[in-house]
Structure 1
Amino acid sequence: MDIGFIGIGSMGAAMVPNLVKAGHSVSVWNRNVEAAKALEGVTVLTSPAAAFEHDAVITMLSDDAAIRSVIMDSGVLASARKDCVHILMATISPAIVEELQNLHRKASMAYISAPVLGVPAVAAKGELNILAAGDADAIAKVQPLFDVLGQKTWHLGDDPKRANVAKIAANLMITLAIESMGEATALTESYGLKASDFLDIVTNTLFASPSYKRYGGNIASNSYEPGFKLTLGLKDVNLAIDAAKAKHAVLPAAEIVRETMNQAIDQGLGSKDWSALAKVTRHRAGLAEGVA
């Protein structure tokens, strides 16, 4: 398949090589052109509009503002191929997804929301979980791409917003897991049981899941080198809270996590992995390790 790819951050850079290896023709546009040039086996595009001259376009931009600037305000959809399928795999708000649906409808082209669960290392192995929602025929057309990028595609119906809400809710659950591990280890360490010993138990029994293991390991070793940046995690928590407010719902625990993440950013941890919010949680509980 002939693919346009927009946005080469850490996730995009991990995904594109798998598409190339699978024999797809991939053309890439990125605001930082050097990041696009660093990828092997791709054609570097000079504009995002050129990406929409292909069979399918995968967009992996960082947030609502980037989507609005590159896709919506630029007018690229007006000149797009009508048989092109646009797959937007970024974590964005349901509100902007609704705007995107309307714009694609006016342009008479297919739009699919397909955010992913997984970090760049998982993407590099082609083991993402893909949350797909949109027109069933369009999804079927691009399913071969999903089969290359992920270990499973979760079909969530014909409303694209469902996929984005699922991704936002999943990321919110990760932040709550990190908060809970921070509090729980503050408790155990106050009684002399090391965080590493306690987390070894729970991440291999009650909470034996990839997220608990990955971020529990960071907490146990007090090492928070960048993986998924805390500032991006805060963006996703804000998306969850805003999406809830749009439906007159309240997320009390999300508000607590947002406060903790804001404190972590104020203390210089914004560029660390989002599990660094546990440092603030543990410090707030009275542990002597403090924050770095």
Structure 2
Amino acid sequence: MNVGFIGVGSMGAAMVPNLLKAGHRVSVWNRNAEAARALPGVTVLDTPAQAFQNDAVITMLADDAAVRSVIIESGALASARDGCVHVMAATISLALVDELADLHRKAGIAYVAAPVFGVPAAAAKAQLNIVAAGDAAAIARVQPLFDAIGQKTWQLGTDPKQANVAKIAGNMMIALAIEAMGEATALTESYGLTAAEFLPIVTNSIFASPSYQRYGGFIAAGSYEPGFKLTLGLKDVSLAFAAAEATKTTLPAAAIVRENMLSAIDQGLGAKDWSVLAKMARRRGGLGDDVA
């Protein structure tokens, strides 16, 4: 399959080699062309519109503003080839999902929402979990791409918002897990039981899951280098609040996490991995500072 790929940050750059390995022909557009040229085996494109001349396009951009600029304001949809399927892998707001779905309908282009769960290391091993929603026939056409980059595709119906709300809610849960570990280790350390002693117990027993193990490891080591930057984590938690506001749903625990994220960013920690929330729990507990 001929595949256009828009956005090769750390996630995109980890996904593209697996598409190539599966035999797909990949052309890439990226704001920073050097990052695109660094990927062996791809064709580097001059404009995002050129990506839409392929059988399918995968978009992996940072946020709503980037998607709006690159996909909507660039006019890329207007020149898309007939039969092109656009796969939106970015984590974006539900309001933008609706807008994109409408624009794609008007342009006659199939739109599939397919955000992914997993970090770049998992992407490099083709171990992503993909949550997909959209036209069933369109999903079937791009399923070989999902098979190349992920370990499982979770199909969630025809409304693209279902995939995006699943991703937003899942990322919110990771933020809550990090806060839980931060507060728990603040408690244990106040009694002399270190995070390095405590967290391996719970992350290999009652909370034996990849997210707890990954971020618990960072917390136990007191090392918070990205990773997934705290500023991006705040973006995702803010998406959860925007989605909740539309349905008048309350998120009281997430509200606490958001305040702690904002406080951490105010203290200059926005570029750290979002597990740095544990640092804030230590500070609130009067346990000092373990981050350079």
SS in 2 for 1:236: helix
Q: Provide the C-alpha distance between the structure 1 equivalents of 2:228 and 2:2, rounded to a whole number of angstroms.
A: 30
Q: Provide the C-alpha distance between the structure 2 equivalents of 1:95 and 1:13, rounded to a whole number of angstroms.
A: 27
Cα distance, 1:291 vs. partner?
Answer: 5.2
Q: Provide the C-alpha distance between the structure 1 equivalents of 2:237 and 2:288, rounded to a whole number of angstroms.
A: 28
Deviations 1:70-124 (A, max 9, x none): 1112221111112000000000011000000000000111000000000000000
SS in 2 for 1:27: strand
Give the match for residue 243 of structure 2. Answer: 243
Q: Provide the C-alpha distance between the structure 1 equivalents of 2:192 and 2:291, rounded to a whole number of angstroms.
A: 20
Give the match for residue 265 of structure 1. Answer: 265
How does 1:276-287 map onto structure 2 within 5 Å?
A: 276-287=276-287
How does 1:145-224 map onto structure 2 within 5 Å?
A: 145-224=145-224
Q: Provide the C-alpha distance between the structure 2 equivalents of 1:142 and 1:276, rounded to a whole number of angstroms.
A: 37
Give the match for residue 32 of structure 1. Answer: 32
Relative to the length of structure 2, the TM-score reads 0.98
Give the match for residue 227 of structure 1. Answer: 227
Matched, 1:52 2:30: no
Q: Provide the C-alpha distance between the structure 1 equivalents of 2:154 and 2:217, rounded to a whole number of angstroms.
A: 28
The runs of 5 or more residues in structure 1 that have no matched partner are none
Q: Please tell me the root mean square deviation across aligned C-alpha atoms, in Å.
A: 0.9
How does 1:62-73 map onto structure 2 within 5 Å?
A: 62-73=62-73
Does the aligned pair in 2 maintain the 1:89–1:113 contact within 8 Å? yes
Cα distance, 1:245 vs. partner?
Answer: 0.5
Letter in 1 for 2:83: D
Deviations 1:210-243 (A, max 9, x none): 1001101111111111111111001000000111
Deviations 1:179-213 (A, max 9, x none): 00010111111111111111111111110001001
Number of aligned residue pairs: give it.
292
How does 1:34-183 map onto structure 2 within 5 Å?
A: 34-183=34-183
Deviations 1:235-283 (A, max 9, x none): 0000001110011111111111111111111112111111011101121
SS in 1 for 2:188: helix
Deviations 1:103-146 (A, max 9, x none): 00001110000000000000000000000000000000010000
Q: Provide the C-alpha distance between the structure 1 equivalents of 2:175 and 2:99, rounded to a whole number of angstroms.
A: 28
Q: Provide the C-alpha distance between the structure 1 equivalents of 2:209 and 2:282, rounded to a whole number of angstroms.
A: 22
The runs of 5 or more residues in structure 2 that have no matched partner are none
Deviations 1:147-185 (A, max 9, x none): 000000000110000100000000000000000001011
Letter in 2 for 1:189: E
Cα distance, 1:288 vs. partner?
Answer: 2.1
Does the aligned pair in 1 maintain the 2:114–2:131 contact within 8 Å? yes
Give the match for residue 20 of structure 2. Answer: 20
Letter in 2 for 1:143: Q
SS in 2 for 1:23: coil
Matched, 1:288 2:288: yes
Does the aligned pair in 2 maintain the 1:283–1:290 contact within 8 Å? no
Does the aligned pair in 2 maintain the 1:280–1:290 contact within 8 Å? no
Does the aligned pair in 2 maintain the 1:244–1:251 contact within 8 Å? yes
Q: Provide the C-alpha distance between the structure 2 equivalents of 1:35 and 1:200, rounded to a whole number of angstroms.
A: 37
Cα distance, 1:290 vs. partner?
Answer: 5.8
Letter in 1 for 2:156: L
SS in 1 for 2:173: helix
Letter in 2 for 1:34: E
Q: Provide the C-alpha distance between the structure 2 equivalents of 1:51 and 1:182, rounded to a whole number of angstroms.
A: 43
Q: Provide the C-alpha distance between the structure 1 equivalents of 2:289 and 2:195, rounded to a whole number of angstroms.
A: 12
Does the aligned pair in 1 maintain the 2:222–2:290 contact within 8 Å? no
Letter in 1 for 2:267: Q
Cα distance, 1:289 vs. partner?
Answer: 2.6
Q: Provide the C-alpha distance between the structure 2 equivalents of 1:65 and 1:258, rounded to a whole number of angstroms.
A: 21
